Amino acid sequence: MKRRFLFFTIGLFILTMGVALIIKSGLGASAWDALAVGESNMFGFTVGTAVFINGIVLIGLNALIMKKKPDVLAAGSILVIGLLIDFWLLVVFNNYAPGMLMNQLVALASGILTMGLGIAIYLQAKFPASPMDTLMVAIHTRFGLNLRNSRIISEGFALSLAFLFKGDIGIGTIIVTLTLGFVVQYSFPLFEQLFEKKTMGKAAVSAD
């Protein structure tokens, strides 16, 4: 359990740093984060608060789609994610605003890399996933669509809301959508092996 919690905490810490870097790049954020930025600008609360509110709404929506009780534990995950996003945006990167296009692209690329690595790490813990990720699974399970189409519907839903709330949509939104999955895909097996290696090592020590 300690190892799972460690991977979960480190993963979310890195993931949210990536989210903040992408937002700070000024080139556009991922669909759900673009929505949160739009809500933040429109209603005056922090981006992290918007992420948390959206997550709570999605927990209810996912439960409705799946015809199950709401996943209460997922609320804890989205609360931590929201708090960490605000930490990075308001404390660490508060005065960070890349002006030149090259610096913006570096921030965007760094954000995509760290966000992807963070996702690959925190998923190893097998704790409740964020409600945004769960929506894709709920659509897949409830309507029998493949994961690719379910992902398209989920992201399209978020993007439509982001347009409605005048969110942070730009070329970066497209780049994140097209590249983030590859980072997760290639880094996930590496951290999976590391997680299993540590688990096996602990089991061997216990046996001795």
Amino acid, res. 3: R
Query: CB-based burial of residue 163 (10 Å sphere; 0-12 exposed, 13-18 middle, 19+ buried)?
Result: middle
DSSP state of 93: S
Per-residue pLDDT tens listing for the chain (208 residues): 777 788 888 889 999 999 999 999 999 998 999 999 999 999 999 999 999 999 999 999 989 988 888 888 888 889 999 999 999 999 999 999 998 999 999 999 999 999 988 888 887 777 777 788 788 778 888 888 776 677 778 888 899 999 999 999 999 998 988 888 788 778 878 877 777 765 555 554 444 4
DSSP type of residue 126: T
Residue 207: per-residue pLDDT? 47
Write down the pLDDT at residue 191.
79
- Separation between Cα atoms, residue 178 and residue 193, nearest integer Å: 26
Q: What's the confidence (pLDDT) of residue 198?
A: 59
* Dist CA 58 CA 78 (whole Å): 10
